[in-house]
């Protein structure tokens, strides 16, 4: 089952930089095309798609720093730019609401759930790939299936489970339920990484008398650090993005995570709410975008890895 699901994919470096991992075809066959033709068939559609993809963020950022009087008056001021940006909305967000607390909640839940899941996944992935115990293949397949179980099917029974365990409205409700989304994904990703580590290294260590635990911590883990980083930041992003569990399992304002809080606490009748809403959305996405800027390659490898293995 696992082998059937391995289409060939290029590595993240190639995805970001190279035209092809094979040889150097930097020019390729593009010399066959003239510039005007490339302009129409390549640059124009690309520009349109990019503008559509990025415009909502531009609009979000612009709205967040526009003064109120320009926000709704599209006629007197040019709506696409502002000459007197204000930090009023962001200031209000940070000092007059629970926003810092919500950010902290989100961060706390995301970090805890991610660490838990990575620890569990490292152990599971190592066991499946290298211990090759009876039924390992079967378990690998089951984990892939678990990846396909969507949260929107699980949240109703989970809410009653969370209630039974007395976790309702605590961060632990999320810290313990998020790993159900993260473990299948990161186990799958790490299995791919562990498979690339040569058997011989482990055999040497075994002959030298190392225990399995020592092999894992001293040989396998140091060699799979890129994989661990990918798994970590991708899990972190998934946690930050999660909505339906947080919406269902938390009720008090102080416990909410950023996505839930923005949707529930900021939406009042105020016609000028857009400024603070957009500021909230902007500040809530910034941590992830910054993380992404530093780890682009790891994101790509996590994404393609999730599909590949």
Partner 1 sequence: MTDAALHRIKPLPRATGAWGRLKVNRNWLALWFMLPAAAFLILFLAYPLGLGVWLSFTDARIGRSGAFVGLENYEWLWDDSVFWLSVFNTLLYTIVASIFKFAIGLYLALLLNENLPCKAMLRAVVLIPFIVPTVLSAIAFWWLYDSQFSIISWSLRKIGLISTNIDFLGDVWNARWSVIFANIWRGVPFVAITLLAGLQTVSPTLYEAATIDGASRWQIFRHVTYPLLTPIIAVVMTFSVLFTFTDFQLIWVLTRGGPVNATQLMATLSYQRAILGGHLGEGAAISTAMIPFLLGAILISWFGLQRRKWQQGESND
Q: For residues 168-207, which are near partner 1 according to CB under 8 A?
A: 176-177, 179-180, 183-184, 187
Complex with partner 1: residue 87 or 243, whichever CB lies closer: 243
- To the nearest whole angstrom, how small is the minimum distance from the Cβ of residue 245 to partner 1? 10
Residue with tokens 């009876």: 134
Stretch that binds partner 1, among 54-62, 85-93, 193-201, 221-229 (CB under 8 A): 54-62
Interface residue with partner 1, options 27, 96, 200, 268 (CB under 8 A): 27
- Look up tokens 């003239």; give the residue: 34
Size of residue set near partner 1 by CB under 8 A: 114
Closest separation in Å from C-beta 114 to partner 1 = 13
Structure tokens at 203: 């055999």
Close Cβ partners of 16 (under 8 Å, ≥ 6 residues apart): 296, 297, 300
Which span (46-54, 89-97, 191-199, 220-228) binds partner 1, by CB under 8 A? 46-54
Nearer to partner 1 (CB atom), residue 45 or residue 100: 45
Spatial neighbors of 137 by CB under 8 A, at least 6 apart, are: 1, 2
For the residues of 177-198, what is the DSSP string, one character each?
Answer: HTHHHHHHHHHHHHHHHHHTS-
Q: Which helix (H) or strand (E) holds 263?
A: helix 258-265
- DSSP letter (8 states) at residue 130: I
User: Least separation, in Å, of the C-beta of 166 and partner 1?
Assistant: 14
Q: DSSP assignment, residue 166?
A: T
* Span of 50-58, 81-89, 91-99, 192-200 interacting with partner 1 by CB under 8 A: 50-58
Pick the binder of partner 1 from 243, 253, 254, 294 (CB under 8 A).
243
Contact indicator for 308, 9 with CB cutoff of 8 Å: yes
Q: Which of 70, 121, 230, 255 binds partner 1 (CB under 8 A)?
A: 121
Q: Which region, judged by CB under 8 A, interacts with partner 1, from 83-91, 195-203, 222-230, 290-298? A: 290-298
- Per CB under 8 A, the list member of 51, 74, 201, 225 interacting with partner 1 is 74
Min dist CB 222 to partner 1, Å, is 18
Q: Residue 206's closest CA among 219, 192, 196?
A: 219
Please give the helix or strand (H or E) that residue 2 lies within, else none. none
For 6, 19, 260, 266, 278, the CA distances from 263, given in Å and listed in that order, are 39, 42, 5, 6, 11
| Residue range at the interface with partner 1 (CB under 8 A); choices 25-33, 85-93, 194-202, 217-225 | 25-33
Of 39, 56, 87, 254, the residue at the interface with partner 1 (CB under 8 A) is 56
Smallest gap from Cβ 225 to partner 1, in A, equals: 20
Residue 124 found at the interface with partner 1 (CB under 8 A): yes
Q: Which is nearer to partner 1, 22 or 96 (CB)?
A: 22
Please, are residues 67 and 276 in contact by the beta-carbon 8 Å criterion?
Answer: no
Does position 108 interact with partner 1 (CB under 8 A)? The reply is no
Q: Where are the alpha helices (DSSP H) in 22-150?
A: 35-38, 44-65, 68-71, 88-96, 99-126, 136-147
């Amino acid at each position: 089952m696992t082998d059937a699901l391995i289409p060939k994919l290029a590595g993240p470096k190639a995805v970001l930089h190279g035209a092809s991992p094979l040889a150097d075809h930097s020019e390729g066959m593009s010399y066959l095309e003239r510039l005007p033709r490339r302009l129409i068939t390549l640059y124009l559609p690309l520009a349109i798609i990019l503008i559509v993809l990025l415009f909502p963020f531009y609009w979000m950022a612009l709205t967040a720093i526009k003064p109120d009087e320009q926000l709704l008056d599209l006629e007197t001021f040019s709506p696409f730019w502002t000459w007197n940006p204000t930090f009023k909305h962001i200031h209000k967000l940070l000092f007059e609401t629970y926003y810092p607390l919500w950010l902290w909640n989100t961060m706390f839940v995301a970090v805890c759930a991610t660490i838990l899941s990575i620890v569990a996944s490292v152990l599971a992935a190592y066991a499946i790939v290298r211990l090759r115990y009876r039924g390992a293949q079967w378990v690998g397949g089951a984990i892939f299936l678990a990846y396909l179980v969507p949260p929107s099917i699980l949240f109703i029974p989970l809410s009653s489970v969370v209630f039974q365990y007395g976790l309702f409205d605590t961060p632990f409700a999320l810290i313990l339920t998020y790993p159900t989304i993260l473990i299948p994904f990161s186990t799958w990703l790490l299995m791919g990484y562990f498979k690339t580590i040569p058997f011989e290294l482990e055999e040497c260590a075994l002959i030298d008398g190392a225990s399995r635990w020592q092999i894992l911590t001293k040989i396998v883990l140091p060699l799979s650090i890129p994989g661990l980083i990918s798994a970590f930041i991708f899990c972190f992003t998934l946690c930050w993005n999660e909505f339906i569990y947080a919406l269902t399992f938390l009720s008090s304002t102080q416990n909410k995570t950023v996505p839930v809080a923005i949707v529930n606490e900021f939406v009042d009748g105020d016609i000028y709410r857009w400024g603070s809403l957009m500021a909230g959305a902007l500040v809530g996405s910034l941590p992830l975008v910054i993380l992404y800027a530093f780890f682009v390659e790891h994101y790509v490898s996590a994404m393609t890895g999730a599909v590949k293995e």
